[in-house]
A = this chain, B = another copy of it.
Amino acid sequence: MKYCCYCRAVLIYEIPADDNRHRYICQSCDTIHYQNPKIVAGCIPVWEDKILLCKRAIEPRYGYWTLPAGFMELGETSLEAGIRETLEEANARVDVEELFAVFSLPHVGQVYMMFRSRLIDLNFSPGAESLDVKLFKEADIPWNELAFTTIRASLRCYFEDIKQGAFSLHTGDIVKTEAGYDFVPTLI
């Protein structure tokens, strides 16, 4: 970020008065250009003992499998965002049951919010951002071809809850390690 998007002046990068972090500041119109994490909202669409996954037709992670999810937009609720992403990526209609996972990804400035949901019907098909859309039983989940650690963590939590016989909210963080990324559940 180099120029003010309101007045075109050159930005400086320093700590504003009454703040404790560096921000991009316009010296001409005094606007402080804050940057904040984004929300990725999505669904775990369930049909009987199967989960709907989408094969990505876009980068990053082209060709890998994911749950339908994407950036929440202005003007919508997080639940509406999860339902919309499921419709856009899988042409699938869902009834949402509850918020199932809230994961922070501090290294990329994202928070994932995944909703447990039931597929209303089997009339799903690949949306513009998907190569394929398929239902998977637990034994058939392509664990080594999943797109993101958030997706792996969401699916693991889901199948663990199924075995426990009860669903609960899962919170935690995806942290960068030497080997890649790990899911660290919140231990309180």
Contact = CB atoms under 8 A, between A and B. Distances in A.
B4 A96 contact: no
Interface in A111-127: 111, 113
Interface in A1-15: 1-8, 11
A109 to B, nearest CB: 4
A39 interface: yes
Interface of A: 1-8, 11, 18, 21, 24, 33-39, 71-80, 95-99, 102, 104, 106-107, 109, 111, 113, 128, 169, 171, 173, 186, 188
24 contacts: A2-B8, A4-B5, A5-B24, A5-B33, A18-B128, A21-B73, A35-B74, A36-B39, A36-B71, A36-B72, A37-B39, A37-B74, A39-B111, A74-B109, A76-B104, A76-B106, A77-B106, A78-B104, A79-B104, A79-B171, A98-B171, A98-B186, A99-B171, A102-B102
Given A1-B6, A36-B74, A75-B106, 15 more contacts: A2-B5, A2-B8, A3-B6, A5-B11, A5-B33, A21-B73, A35-B74, A36-B39, A37-B73, A39-B39, A77-B106, A78-B111, A79-B171, A97-B188, A98-B169
